[in-house]
Amino acid sequence: MGLIQEISEYLQKGRAKNVKALVQQALDENLDPKEILNDGLLSAMMIVGTKFKNNEVFVPEVLVAARAMNAGLSVLEPKLVEVGNEPVGKAVIGTVQGDLHDIGKNLVVMMLKGAGFEIYDLGVDVDPAVYIDKAEEVGADIICMSALLTTTMPKMQDCIENLKERGLRDKYIVMIGGAPVNDSFCEQVGADYYTPDAATCAEVAKKVVLEKRAAG
Amino acid sequence: MTSKERIRAALAHKPVDRVPTTMQCVETAWDNMKKYLNVETEEEVMQHFDIDTRIMDLPPYIGEAIEPFINEDGETVYTHPLGYQYINKWNGVEYNWHIITTPYDVIKTFDDLEKFDGWFNPDNFDYNAVTEFVKQHEDKAIRIGWPGPYQVFTLLYNTEEFYVNMYEEPELIKAMLDRYCKASYEIYERMYEAANNKVDFIRCADDYGTQLSTLFSPDMWDEFFAENTKMFVEQAHRHGAFYLQHSCGAIRSIIPNLIRCGVDAIEPIQKVTGLEVDGLKRDFGKDLCFQGGIDTQNILPHGTPQEVFDETTRVIKALHEDGRAGGYILCGSQDFEGDVPPENVCALYEAGKQYK
Ligand code: B12
């Protein structure tokens, strides 16, 4: 088995120490950092995400895999900077105001990272305006909002209205999700995309960011 | 039938004279109901709907006073008897608690576990209040119980750390669960005794499910939760009480595990993947009684009273006993929240009353 393949296997099993050591070894052997990233770490994380979506693995398995990915990334990142690896895009994410559920949001963070995004995680209980301030500050492509309560979902609309008031609605792709959210709510509040799970969120995010960039 | 007899019959899969009811609300929903019915107390709201249960989750706390204090942001910080600190925040519709400190986070080794003194102390609760409560509601069905071991860990311990340590430090996690359960067991023991064994059922709340599945695998459920669930079930049965397991979410895959542990009933039957009421009754109706099922994510907040009435009738029809094995207790698929119009709560209980 090749080194890259081995990294991928260990990541899927959530073995942070092994992943970290193997990424170091791969760098020592002068393997291409981008290949280590894409074929070793990120694609493995996507495999875990897909299994999660299909109920083959559960939250703990995704979290330990994500820890392993982060362990690998910590070794790899300085090298990636050296070779000038660009992220797919930048995403600002948080759980909406009044809501503290963050397990799902954190999984979305991990999958977006797995898809190659640079992530700005605002945590929980995020004021609608704060998403926008952060997006402006970092030059984000996407704003992602998570809500798990029917009573906090309206905050998503507040953020979108706020975007409109500030004349920024078309500048950002707005994605929303969380247990009570669905397609018709997405349409009703004027968000761009809803997906029911984290893996699909990452796929869609990547696709639309690349499309938007291609369209100029 | 008295309320007590009605609920006990439902839980024992025996015939009842009408659909038994219970009621659970978040703070704001209670306030909305009081205002709507023009009454002062929760008790009056329950009397209005002829609710069969009276609930005391934990006895009143009489330990050292843990006074609320104001933090730097000007928010009032409360400490729950379980040990976590929280603030209440208004979200435009209702107040919800936000946990700000999780005391079990300091336990990183077995050594820390030995030194930790933040467990529940059974001496800190007023058991005379339990005796009084039971006397006050003699003909009602008495329910006790609060979060079970899993739920407590989502309140007292960093949730992500918990999941990761199920893999990385399973023995430590099991030891922590054991310590928590021992304290909890002792409190329940004293409650059952103070109630003269007149507790009718206990509800342990553990949210094992998401909209689509369980948060961890059924095997992992067995590894971490089968033994402690059995322990609380056996304790309840020894005191003549039934055991009701609360779990939010899509928990079909672990229902067989719950049945193996002797669980008598489950709630709140959310409208999620795999918990379609007909299938539940068909596959598990002979082993389990059901409570809840009227959707708080959609119909109750957003439907019309007529829609709530019809949906309630449909759920009762599917889950209520008609000489067949398997009882049913009527309520929402979770606490009523601040976004549920009082008219819809009325429609729900009205459908129960009219059901033939
Ligand atoms: C765990 C949990 C809690 C934990 C949260 C711990 C934490 N750190 O997150 C605790 C115990 C603290 C909690 C508290 C409360 N909870 Co709660 N909770 C849950 C539970 C059981 C699971 C949520 C979860 O973590 N799921 C696992 C993750 C992986 O799934 P997910 O969040 O849905 O995320 C996935 C997708 O939705 C999607 N996704 C998520 N975010 C995003 C964002 C984008 C952009 C996209 C594209 C996709 C996406 O991807 C994720 C992965 O695939 C749900 C049950 C349920 N049916 O969901 C109730 C639930 C959400 N809670 C509920 C309630 C009522 C509460 C409380 C109000 C309880 C109370 N009475 O006080 C409080 C509110 C506290 C507050 N201020 O927010 C209700 C809400 C009902 C309603 N009317 O909306 C639910 C539905 C339970 C129920 N039976 O009704 N809860």
Mind listing the pLDDT tens digit for each residue in B106-130? 999 999 999 998 888 999 999 999 9
**What pLDDT does B326 receive?**
58
What are the tokens at B250?
């899509």
Residues in Cβ contact with A214 at an 8 Å cutoff, skipping those fewer than 6 apart? none
Query: Is the pLDDT reported for residue A135 higher than 80?
Result: yes
**What pLDDT does B321 receive?**
65
**Interface test mutation site (partner B, options A51, A99, A101, A150, max chain B beta carbons within 10 A):** A150
Q: What is the dihedral of CA B148, B151, B155, B160, to 10 degrees?
A: 140
CA distance B173 to B113: 10
Q: Give percent of chain A with pLDDT exceeding 90.
A: 87
Q: Would the CB atoms of A58 and B93 count as touching at under 8 Å? A: no
Q: Give percent of chain A with pLDDT exceeding 70.
A: 100
Q: What is the largest CA-CA distance in chain A?
A: 55
How much is the mean pLDDT over chain A? 94
**What pLDDT does B19 receive?**
93
Q: Could you tell which of A46, A62, A99, A101 is best to mutate to test the pocket of ligand 1, judged by most ligand atoms within 8 Å of the CB? A: A101
A155-211 pLDDT, tens digit each: 999 999 999 999 999 999 999 999 899 999 999 999 999 999 999 999 999 999 999
Backbone conformation region of residue B292, classed left if phi is above 0, alpha if psi is from -120 to 50, else beta: left
What are the tokens at A120?
């700005």
Could you tell me the residue ranges of all domains in chain A?
3-82, 89-215
Query: Is the pLDDT reported for residue B232 higher than 70?
Result: yes
Query: Is the pLDDT reported for residue B166 higher than 70?
Result: yes
Which residues in chain B have their CB less than 8 angstroms from residue A55's CB? 212-213
B33-47 pLDDT, tens digit each: 999 999 999 999 999
Give the rounded distance of the alpha carbon of B5 from its chain centre. Answer: 21
**What pLDDT does A120 receive?**
98
Query: What's the CATH code, domain B3-63+103-354?
Result: 3.20.20.210
3-state SS assignment for residue B189 = helix
**What pLDDT does B81 receive?**
84
For chains A and B, CB pairs below 8 A equal 76
Q: Would the CB atoms of A151 and B217 count as touching at under 8 Å? A: no
pTM: 0.85
B266-307 pLDDT, tens digit each: 999 999 989 999 999 999 999 999 999 999 988 999 999 999
Q: Give percent of chain B with pLDDT exceeding 90.
A: 79
B38-80 pLDDT, tens digit each: 999 999 999 999 999 999 999 999 988 888 999 988 899 999 8
Mean pLDDT value across residues B334-342: 93
What are the tokens at A175?
């994605």
Q: Could you tell which of B90, B98, B248, B333 is best to mutate to test the pocket of ligand 1, judged by most ligand atoms within 8 Å of the CB? A: B248
First-to-last C-alpha distance (Å) of chain B = 16
Tell which residue, A111, A77, A178, has the closest CA to residue B297.
A178
According to DSSP, the β-strands at B85-90 and B95-101 are antiparallel
Q: Ligand 1 centroid to B272 CA: how many Å?
A: 13
Which residues in chain A have their CB less than 8 angstroms from residue B214's CB? 58
Nearest CA in chain B to A127: B91
Query: Is the pLDDT reported for residue B92 higher than 90?
Result: no
**What pLDDT does B322 receive?**
64
Sheet of A117-121: strand order equals A117-121, A89-95, A142-146, A173-177, A193-194
Q: Would the CB atoms of A55 and B160 count as touching at under 8 Å? A: no
Architecture of the A89-215 domain:
3-Layer(aba) Sandwich (3.40)
Query: What's the CATH code, domain A3-82?
Result: 1.10.1240.10
3-state SS assignment for residue B228 = helix
How many other CB atoms are there within 10 angstroms of residue A27's CB atom?
A: 16
How much is the mean pLDDT over chain B? 93
